[in-house]
Amino acid sequence: MSFENTDLLAPATHTDDPEPFYEWHREQEPLYWDPVSELWSVARYEDVIFVSKNPQLFCSGQGVVPKLSFDDWPEEAMINKDGDAHTKQRGLVSKGFTPRRVGCMGERAVEIATELIDAFIDKGEADLVKQFARPLPMYIIGEMLGYPRDRMDEVLDWTDVYMDAGSGPDHITEEVQEAFANFVEFHEEILEQRKQQRGDDLISVWLDAELDGEKLSEDMLMFEHNLLLVGGSETTRNAISIGLWQLMKHPDQMAWLTENLEDGDAVATAVEEMIRFASPFVRMRRTATQDYEWYGKTIKKGDEILILYPAANRDPRVFPEPQKFDIRRQNEQPPLSFGYGKHFCLGASLARLEARTAVKQLLSRVKDLELAGEPRIHPSSFTNGLEYLPARFTKR
C-alpha cells in the first residue's frame, strides 16, 4: 500500500489508525516529502535524534509549528531559539524548575490525586479524562505557577482550545485566538500581582531570575509561562489517560502492576511504557539552514521538516515488538516522547512524577477497573490524546 500523498498536517493522518502510514514511512520512505502541505518528515528513531541534535542543519529558530511564521507565533519563546540564545533563556527558566522544587510536589501530587478520586470513587464509574487525568496535572502545575484554585479549570479550558493551533495555520480560528487572548489577560493579572508582592511560585522566581546580568523580558516570561502551562498540563494528561486505557485493555498487566505498586522500579517501568505508547506530542518542526542531501534526496534551505515522535517510538530497530504494550519492557534506549537534545522537555521529571502518582493512587483504591464504553480520541496533528475515557470499577 502506498501513502505517497499523505497530508502530514491532517489530524486524521495521526488519529485514524496512523501506524500503517508510520510503518511505511519508516521502512519504505524514511525521508518523506508531503506534496500536500509541502514539507518533509522523518520517522525512524535514529533520524529523529539526528535532526534534533543538529540545529546547525535543522534549526528551531524559524519556528516549531509547521507553516507558521513569527507573524503568527512567538519569536520570544525559548522553544523557537537555538544555540547560545536558547541556552541562556533555558537557564533563566530552569531556575524556577529545580529538582528540589519538582521533588517537593510529590506529596502534594498524592493529595490532589486523592481529592480527585474521592469525588468519584463511590459512584463506581467515571470519565477518567475529565475527572482525573485532565485536572491532576493542571492542579499541580497551577499551584507551582501560583494560580488561585478557582481559576484553574477556566485556564485549562482555554488551553484545550488554543492547543489546536499547533496543528497548523488552518486551525487558528477566532475561538483559538479568543482563548489565547484570555490566557494573556490572565497572565498579565498574575504578573502585576507578583510585581507588587512576590510569592514562592514560578512566576515570582522568573521575575527575579538573572543570568550573566540578563533577565527575562516580559514577552519572554509570558511565552515561557504558556509553554510550561501547556507542557505541564495538556501533555501529561495524555500520557496518563492513554496509559490507563491500555491497562484496561490488558487486565493481566494491570493485575501485575496492582500487585507491585509498592515496588518503585516496577511503577517507574510501567509509566515509561505508558509514555512511549502514548507519545503525547505527535511532532515538532525544524527548518533546514542549508541544502542537505539525505537518503538520495535534496532538502532545500528553508524547507520545513517534521520529526514524528510516535513513529520513532514504534521503531522496531530500537523497541522489539513495538506495537505491543508491555509494562515490563526493559528499554535499552529511552522513548522520545519528551524530545531529545537541547530542547528536551524541561518538565519531563514532573510529568513522570505525576503519571506515577496517578497510576499508584488509582489502582490502590479501585479494583475490577474496566472500560465502560468507547474512548474518544481528540483529532490533532500536534498532540495525541483522549477526550473521553469511560470506566467502571469497584471501590476497594
pLDDT in tens, 241-262: 999 999 999 999 999 999 999 9
At residue 75, the pLDDT reads 59
Domains of the chain: 11-395 (1.10.630.10)
pLDDT in the model for residue 165: 86
The strands making up 39-42's β-sheet, listed across from edge to edge, are 31-34, 39-42, 304-308, 283-288, 58-59
Q: Worst-scoring range by mean pLDDT, 86-100, 204-218, 348-362, 380-394? A: 86-100
Q: What single letter denotes the amino acid at residue 347?
A: G
Region 170-176 average pLDDT: 91
Question: Among residues 86, 80, 87, which one has the least CA distance to residue 284?
Answer: 80
Pairing of strands 366-371, 386-388: unpaired
**What pLDDT was estimated at residue 234?**
76
pLDDT for 372 equals 98
Report the distance separating Cα 58 and Cα 304, nearest Å: 9
pLDDT tens, position by position, 287-302: 999 999 999 999 999 9
Q: What are the tens digits of pLDDT across the range 216-241? A: 888 888 888 988 888 777 788 999 99
Q: How confident is the model over 33-52, as a mean pLDDT?
A: 98
Handedness of CA 170, 174, 179, 182 (dihedral sign): positive
User: pLDDT at residue 97 above 80?
Assistant: no
For residue 32, is pLDDT > 70?
A: yes
| Per-residue b or e along 223-235, where b marks 16 or more CB atoms closer than 10 Å to that residue's CB | bbbbbbbbbbbbb
How many angstroms separate the CA atoms of 381 and 276, rounded? Answer: 17
pLDDT score, position 71: 60
- Among candidate residues 299, 280, 344, 325, the one with its CA nearest the CA of residue 30: 299
Instruction: Please give the order of strands across the beta sheet that includes 125-127.
Output: 125-127, 390-395, 366-371
Cα–Cα distance for residue pair 58/355, rounded to 1 Å: 32
Q: Judge whether residue 77 has pLDDT over 80.
A: no
Mean pLDDT for the stretch of residues 61-90: 79
Q: Smallest Cα–Cα separation from 204: which of 186, 217, 190, 214?
A: 190
Cβ within 8 Å of residue 93, ≥6 positions away? 78, 206, 209, 216, 224, 228, 346
Please state which of the ranges 89-93, 322-326, 356-360, 386-390 shows the lowest mean pLDDT.
89-93
Predicted confidence at residue 221, as pLDDT, reads: 87
Angle, helix 348-363 to helix 135-144, in steps of 10 degrees: 130
Q: Which of 82-86, 101-105, 114-118, 207-211 has the highest mean pLDDT?
A: 114-118
Q: Is 34 a residue whose pLDDT tops 90?
A: yes
Q: DSSP string spanning 285-315?
A: EEEESS-EEETTEEEPTT-EEEEEHHHHTT-
Residue 72 pLDDT: 54
- The pLDDT assigned to 29 comes to 97
What does pLDDT average to over the chain?
A: 92
Question: pLDDT confidence of 378, banded at 50, 70, 90?
Answer: very high
Number of other CB atoms surrounding residue 106 within 10 Å: 13
pLDDT exceeds 60 at position 163: yes
Strands (DSSP E) found in the chain: 31-34, 39-42, 58-59, 125-127, 283-288, 292-294, 297-299, 304-308, 366-371, 376-377, 386-388, 390-395
The percent of residues in the chain predicted with pLDDT above 70, rounded, is 98
Do the Cβ atoms of 324 and 38 come closer than 8 Å? no
Grid cell listed for 80: 523557537
Residue located via cell numbers 539552514: 289
Is the pLDDT confidence value at 37 over 70?
A: yes
- DSSP letter string, 256-279: HHHHTTT-HHHHHHHHHHHHHHH-
- Cell digits of residue 60: 528551531
pLDDT of residue 168: 85
For residue 352 the three cell numbers come to 513522570
Q: Give the mean pLDDT of 50-66.
A: 94
Q: Please name every residue paired with 299 in a beta bridge, in sequence order, or none if there are none.
A: 292
Answer whether residue 74 shows pLDDT above 60. Answer: no
